[in-house]
Amino acid sequence: MEGKAGRLSDFMWRARPYIAMVSLQFGYAGMNIITKVSLNRGMSHYVLVVYRHAFATVVIAPFALLLERKVRPKMTSAVFMQIFALGLLGPVIDQNLYYAGLKFTSPTFSCAMSNMLPAMTFVMADGKGGYEKVRCMAKVGGTVVTAGGAMLMTLYKGNVLNFPWSAHIHGHASSGSEAPESTDKNWVKGSIFLIIATFAWASFFILQAVTLKRYAAHLSLTALVVFMGTLQSTAVTFVMEHKASVWSIGWDMNLLAAAYAGVVSSSIAYYVQGLVMKNRGPVFVTAFSPLMMIIVAIMGSFIIAEKIYLGGVLGAVLIVAGLYSVLWGKYKEFQEGEAEQIPEPVKDHQNVRTNDLEPAHNNC
């Protein structure tokens, strides 16, 4: 009996990163649907980013102050500059461009494009030398396939695909929850915004992994990043939005979108991603985005009568195929890294796991 309980406890311990990342995909899926409705109703995405991170700061800062007051590392100029850069990459660049792309396209399309994240992370973090190995060729090939899928989604729209449960919804969608049909020009523009946003998000993940080595207080780092993002986004909004009315918000979908995104997608997500990334690396953290795409497609067809196009489905299939080719290569690399560490009699605890940012022997 004790043996079964021990095995179950060990299994749950090993499964924690997977459970955490799957749960986050459900949270992200809800954020995409709610945000799309808010943007369709006229909320400025610049203002939404500001309110989102203001909520996130209010929620997570007290926990950081109380729980990490004795373990918080000393702030240095180098760490401050990294936090400043994280605020620009995540809250300012990525989220503003992602919301703009979401407004011009659709939630499912936006989620599908975000599946390029692991491939971009690989190119930026791991892409160097050793391409003769099978695992390295899998990662390179997956990256190429992912890029091809993104191009297909951008350049080819195709026919609308109707699901059995949503056929009646498209004919009776309310004007308050469905945006006007996007033109092809706006569709391409939205796609470009999403690609740039994904590039910024990949850069954020890599820099976050580096910063956590110097400033290993997860809650405090999360609070500082969202607070910095709030200040930076406010400055950007003052430049881009000149009407005071854009800041008005009531007890409506706009408030829900800002609060939900701030609490779930910024506070909780940033913190959980940091914890998982410390042991498994940035590529593992980005590996679960296809699940979000599936959840959003189902929710979107029910809630906002989202139209899904053939080009988007074909491109999404290519992106997911490339994604898992990259992940297979990362899994094999992780296995090799663990095997190389077994003969070592003494290892520092912090170096037991191979960081995904540092490939073994500088090969791929």
Q: Note the pLDDT of residue 59.
A: 92
Residue 187 burial (CB count, 10 A): 22
Enumerate residues 6+ apart whose C-beta is below 8 A from 34.
Answer: 253, 256, 257, 260, 261
Mean pLDDT of the chain: 79
* 84-88, 160-164, 249-253: segment of lowest average pLDDT: 160-164
Residue 255 burial (CB count, 10 A): 15
Residue 57 has pLDDT above 90, yes or no: yes
Q: Note the pLDDT of residue 234.
A: 96
Q: Average pLDDT, stretch 52-76?
A: 91
Greater confidence (330 vs 18) lies with 18
Q: Average pLDDT, stretch 170-181?
A: 45
pTM of the model: 0.75
Distance, first Cα to last Cα, the chain: 45
- Of 174, 178, 214, 210, nearest to 72 by C-alpha is 214
